[in-house]
Amino acid sequence: MTTSAHPPGKTKHGHGGGHDHDHHGHDHSHGHGHGHGPSGRPSQLADERRKDRKRLLFALVLTATIALAEAVGGYLTNSLALMSDAGHMLTDISALALSLLALWFAGKPADLKKTYGYYRMEILSALFNGMLLLGLTAVIVYEAWQRFREPAPVQLGPMAVVALVGLAANLAALGFLHRTHSMNVRGAFLHVLGDALSSVGVLVGAGIMALTGWYVVDPLISILISIVIVVGAIRLVRDAVDVLLEAVPAHVDLESVKTLLMQVRGVSAVHDLHVWTISSGLYALSAHLVVADPRVCNNDEILSSVKHELFDRFGIDHTTIQIESETYAHLGEVH
C-alpha cells in the first residue's frame, strides 16, 4: 500500500478501497496512497511565484538602468570600485533574466515525461547565479590587485553621486525581493545585495579618499565587497547542490520524522525513509510503514494521520507511503 506525491495544483476526490492516490487531480484508495497537504497549498505556491515574477521584473528594469549609469560614471571618474559595481550589475541583468525564465518554466504543468514539471529549473538557475557570482568576484579581485600595484587618481564627486543613486535603486530592489522563500529569487536577492554593498563601499571609499588622498582605498573596498559576495554565493551554491543531491531539507530532522511516524496508531516499524526538496518550499517524503495487524488497523486512517502530521510539523506536502504487514517479504535491501 503506497501513498505517492504528484505535482501540485490538482483537485482531489476519493474512491473506496485500499490505496489513496493523487493522480492528476484524483484521490483513489486501493492499497497504497498518494498524498498532498491541504488543497490550498498548490494555489498558494502558484500565487507566490506570480509575485516573485513581478519582483524580479521590477528589479531587472531598475538594475539595467543603474548599470548603464554606473558604467558611464565609472569610466568618466576612473573608479575601479564603481566600474566593478557596474560590471556586477551587468551580470545581475543576465542573472535576473535567467531567474525570470526559470520561474516561467516552473509554472509549466507536468507531463508524462516530466512528472514533477519544471520545478528544478529554479534550482538550476540558483546554482548558475551562485557560480556567476564566484566568477565575478575573481575578476574584481584581480583588477583590485592591479590597482594596488599602480594606484590611480579618482574623480570623487561624480563617483559619490553615481554610487548614491545606485544605492537608492538597489535598496528599492531589495525591498521587493526579500519577501520570498524562493531559492531562485534568493539568488537574485544576493546579486542585488552585492550591488548595494558595492555602492556603500564606493561611498565610504570616496569619503576616505577625499579626506586622505589614499587612492589605494578604491581597490581595497572592492576586495572587501568581494569577500561578502563570496560568502553569500558559496551558501547559495551549497543549498542548490543539496537540493540536486536530494539531501534532507535543513529544517527537517530525519529522526524526528521517524519518531512522528512511529507514534501513529497501528505503525510498528518504519524503513526506507527519504525526505527531499523538489523546489523552494516544496518538500517530499517516501517511506515504508509496517503495520502490526492489517486486519485491525484502518489504512486510510493511518495515511490521513501521517499526511496531516507531516504537513503540520515539517511542511511536507508530497508523500509516498507504502504500508506493509510484518510478514511482507522484501525483494531488496531494507534500510
Task: Give me the percent of the chain exceeding a pLDDT of 90.
Answer: 16
Q: Do 24 and 82 sit in the same domain of this protein? A: no
| Greatest mean pLDDT range, 99-103, 215-219, 296-300 | 215-219
Q: Do 284 and 142 sit in the same domain of this protein? A: no
Domain of residue 17: give its range: 2-37+267-325
Q: Is the per-residue pLDDT at 14 higher than 50?
A: no
What pairs with residue 27 in β-bridges?
14, 22
* Residues contacting 196, CB < 8 A, separation 6+: 167, 170, 171, 174
Assess if residue 271 is contained within a domain. yes
pLDDT greater at residue 19 or residue 331: 331
- Say which CATH number the domain at 289 has: 3.30.70.1350
Containing 180, the helix (H) or strand (E) segment is none
pLDDT digit string (tens) for 317-334? 899 999 888 777 666 666
Q: How many structural domains does the chain have?
A: 2
pLDDT digit string (tens) for 282-291? 899 999 999 8
Q: Do 223 and 293 sit in the same domain of this protein? A: no
pLDDT greater at residue 34 or residue 79: 79
Q: Report DSSP letters for 96-115, one per residue.
A: HHHHHHHHHHHTSPP-SSST
pLDDT greater at residue 283 or residue 229: 283
Q: What is the mean pLDDT of residues 158-169?
A: 83
- Say which CATH number the domain at 59 has: 1.20.1510.10
Q: Do 155 and 107 sit in the same domain of this protein? A: yes
- What does pTM read for this prediction? 0.68
Q: Do 293 and 178 sit in the same domain of this protein? A: no
| pLDDT at residue 33, as a whole number | 52
Q: Do 31 and 63 sit in the same domain of this protein? A: no
Q: Do 218 and 126 sit in the same domain of this protein? A: yes
Q: Do 176 and 292 sit in the same domain of this protein? A: no
Long-range Cβ pairs for the range 38-46 (8 Å, 24+): 38/311, 38/317, 39/11, 39/12, 41/8, 41/311, 41/317, 42/8, 42/9, 42/10, 43/9, 45/8, 45/281, 45/282, 46/9, 46/107
Of the candidate ranges 129-143, 154-168, 182-196, 305-319, the one whose mean pLDDT is the lowest: 182-196
Q: Report DSSP letters for 16-30, one per residue.
A: SSS-BEEETTEEE-S
DSSP class of 269: E
Q: Do 48 and 31 sit in the same domain of this protein? A: no
| pLDDT at residue 83, as a whole number | 74
For 64, other C-beta atoms within 10 Å of its C-beta total: 15
Assess if residue 262 is contained within a domain. no
Q: Do 101 and 235 sit in the same domain of this protein? A: yes
Containing 293, the helix (H) or strand (E) segment is none
